Amino acid sequence: MGRYYQKEIETMPVEEIRKLQSVKLVKQVKHVYENVPYYRGLMDKKGVRPEDVHGIEDLRKLPFLSKSDLRETYPYGMLAVPISDCVRIHSTSGTTGKRVIAYYTQHDVDLWEECCARAIVAAGGTRDDVLQVAYGYGLFTGGAGLHGGSHKVGCLTLPMSSGNTERQIQFMMDLKSTIICCTPSYAAYIGESLKEQGYKPEDNSLKAGIFGAEPWTEEMRRDIEKSLGIKAYDIYGLTETSGPGVAFECEEQNGMHINEDHFIAEIIDPDTGEVLPEGSKGELVFTSLDKQAFPLLRYRTRDICVLSREKCSCGRTFVRMAKPMGRSDDMLIIRGVNVFPSQVETVLLAEGYAPNYRIEIDRVNNTDTFDVFVELLPEQLADTPEGVIQREKALAAAVTTMVGIRPAVHLVPPKTIARSEGKAVRVTDKRKLHD
């Protein structure tokens, strides 16, 4: 049986969660309709009034929101309370374009931090832990979210922020950090640096890591677990829904429980907007039930994943989301074939390479080129040139089996691909330059 931060809520019978969501939804729709003219406009256009929403069964009557709505209403068009009630601003990392900002009342910050506290406790965190926050601090939500959650749990919090890996490692060893939170790509980099400094996985005091903010594969999880000697937990969130902590993994490490007392999750067909039955793969949509300042209804995340209501042995009743494969806009269409960078990662790691790679797409003579750059492992440096070519061919064949088209694989010397301290940038799509 599991460890919980708020046992009664986290293990609430599904029927009760539904009732709670219904009551909160009715209230939230009214709050938004009355206070956010932009969304009121969308509802009016669709001919739906707050009185038409009696519970979660009426959710699909409501219009969707997407990133473009948030850009259109930038900066304060979604604000649902007087600005004097707000205490904090955060913003997206801008991975896919102009930044979106989010605003929080103290109540909003508290419930966000509670969600992060649930994630920390699920990963084994207690007041006896030393929790190293190596997510960036600042406008990015990663640092602030886990920092607040760590305080709520009562861990000794090390607000390291990302970067300065030498100091990161020194404090980790000197202060005996037991839990580390950062992006998975940074965790891999820290693991690599520890090894270079001569540390073995068992030399550190870490027992768990809570990693998110970017897609990462199961292969990457195993790599990090091995190099740091820990159990690695996934955490998911986006600025639009507060930040990390919307969903988190329990000790089963088999999908992330969505905090359903605060959020309703739906999976839709990204092309038609149709709500898909449970178990279907599609775009994740969130309705936030408790947020006061920035209460988005039916927000389209563009993250592609699957939900599961299968019972979890941890005792939590919250629905689980599978690891998102990436955003619909991370999907590359190369020579007409859909390719997710995470598929390439799966192959590279399964073939024994380190998670240091780069994908480059271009268009030459009207044909897409697909190049994958991967670092040779230090022990492969002694290979003959023919040996390296053989390796490249074998890797290209393995990627082809996975994604359906053949890349040109280039094995490059170790340490020549930039390491990531935050969200890794793995893809360069040069085709955009020609448009």
197 binds ligand ADP (CB under 6 A): no
324 binds ligand ADP (CB under 6 A): yes
Which of 109, 103, 60, 66 shows the shortest CA–CA distance to 83? 103
133 binds Zn ion (CB under 5 A): no
Strand-strand pairing, 320-321 and 256-258 = antiparallel
239 binds ligand ADP (CB under 6 A): yes
Site string for ligand ADP, 285-304 (x = CB under 6 A): ----------------x-x-
82 binds ligand ADP (CB under 6 A): no
Helices (H), 48-198: 67-72, 106-122, 141-153, 165-174, 184-196
Interacting residue with Zn ion among 24, 298, 316, 391 (CB under 5 A):
316
Cβ-in-10-Å burial (0-12, 13-18, 19+) of 36 comes to buried
118 binds Zn ion (CB under 5 A): no
Binders in 383-402 for ligand ADP, by CB under 6 A? none
**Residue 54 CB coordination number (10 Å):** 10
DSSP lists the bridge partners of residue 370 as 361
**Residue 51 CB coordination number (10 Å):** 10
**Cα-based distances in Å from 63 to 33, 39, 59, 102:** 12, 8, 9, 20
214 binds ligand ADP (CB under 6 A): yes
| Minimum distance of ligand ADP from residue 63's CB (angstroms) | 20
69 binds ligand ADP (CB under 6 A): no
56 binds Zn ion (CB under 5 A): no
Cis, peptide link before residue 13, omega less than 30° from 0: no
Interacting residue with ligand ADP among 136, 148, 209, 212 (CB under 6 A):
212
Binders in 203-262 for Zn ion, by CB under 5 A? 250, 252
Residues 6+ away with beta carbon under 8 Å from 323: 215, 216, 217, 218, 234, 255, 256, 305
CB of 133 closer than 8 Å to CB of 158? yes
236 binds ligand ADP (CB under 6 A): yes
CB of 252 closer than 8 Å to CB of 122? no
70 binds ligand ADP (CB under 6 A): no
DSSP state string for 14-60:
HHHHHHHHHHHHHHHHHHHHHH-HHHHHHHHHHT--GGG--SGGGGG
Interacting residue with ligand ADP among 192, 234, 266, 375 (CB under 6 A):
234
**Residue 46 CB coordination number (10 Å):** 12
Interacting residue with ligand ADP among 208, 213, 347, 376 (CB under 6 A):
213
Report the alpha-carbon distance of residue 134 to residue 150 in Å, rounded.
13
CB of 245 closer than 8 Å to CB of 115? yes
12 binds Zn ion (CB under 5 A): no
| Minimum distance of ligand ADP from residue 97's CB (angstroms) | 8
314 binds Zn ion (CB under 5 A): yes
CA angle at 108 for the pair 103 and 116, rounded to the nearest 5°? 110
| Minimum distance of ligand ADP from residue 114's CB (angstroms) | 18
Q: Which amino acid is residue 429, in one-letter code?
A: D
**Total length of the chain:** 435
The entry of ligand ADP, Zn ion, none that residue 95 binds, CB within 5 to 8 Å by partner kind: ligand ADP
Which one of 94-102, 331-339, 386-394, 396-404 is the stretch in contact with ligand ADP (CB under 6 A)? 94-102
* Number of residues located near ligand ADP, criterion CB under 6 A: 20
95 binds ligand ADP (CB under 6 A): yes
| Minimum distance of ligand ADP from residue 356's CB (angstroms) | 19
Interacting residue with ligand ADP among 257, 291, 298, 327 (CB under 6 A):
327
Q: Which amino acid is residue 380, in one-letter code?
A: Q
Interacting residue with ligand ADP among 82, 94, 387, 413 (CB under 6 A):
94
The entry of Zn ion, ligand ADP, none that residue 294 binds, CB within 5 to 8 Å by partner kind: none
- Closer by beta carbon to ligand ADP, 3 or else 327: 327
Which of 218, 221, 240, 286 shows the shortest CA–CA distance to 96? 240
Interacting residue with ligand ADP among 21, 22, 93, 242 (CB under 6 A):
93
| Minimum distance of ligand ADP from residue 327's CB (angstroms) | 5
**Contact footprint for ligand ADP (CB under 6 A):** 92-96, 212-215, 234-239, 301, 303, 323-324, 327
Binding site for Zn ion (CB under 5 A): 250, 252, 312, 314, 316
